[in-house]
Amino acid sequence: MRLRSALGRARGLGSAREGVGHFYAQRVSAIALIPLSLWFVVSVIHLTHADHAAVVAWAGQPINATLLALTVLTALYHAQLGVEVVIADYVHGETIKFTLLTASILAAVLLGAVMAVSILKVAVGV
């Protein structure tokens, strides 16, 4: 049984074929955030009474800097996917929807770059 009309099949109209990819990206990023968040919480608990130099030394270790960058960038990506869903669902004007979607992507890219550079700067010691 087909749910599309004959005209729709002839024109090739139908699904944009991107909703499933967005759904999976959101789920994969959420699953990736579970171990990354647990690692981050355990690390913060271990660093609660540490001074600034100890935290910088901890962040300067390659594995910690890598996991920290993965954590913040994955969280940012997951948040941007969520904002995209909210805008797509609740903003009805096409112009404002396009503007907000573009602004949210640009903001996520800018924040991601700032976060990555900041973590690298601390890790390298510049």
Give the pLDDT score at 10: 63
| Side chain identity, residue 53 | A
Give the pLDDT score at 125: 82
Alpha helices, H only, the chain: 6-11, 19-46, 52-60, 62-90, 94-124
Fold of 6-124: 3 helical TM bundles of succinate and fumarate reductases (1.20.1300)
Q: How far lies 63's CA from each of 6, 16, 123, in Å?
A: 56, 40, 10
| Structure tokens that stand for 87 in this block | 């805008």
The four Cα atoms 32, 34, 40, 44 give a dihedral, to 10 degrees, of: 170
Residue-range domain boundaries for the chain: 6-124
The four Cα atoms 91, 93, 95, 96 give a dihedral, to 10 degrees, of: -40
Give the pLDDT score at 58: 95
pLDDT averaged per 10 residues, the chain (length 126): 64 62 93 97 95 94 96 97 94 94 97 96 87
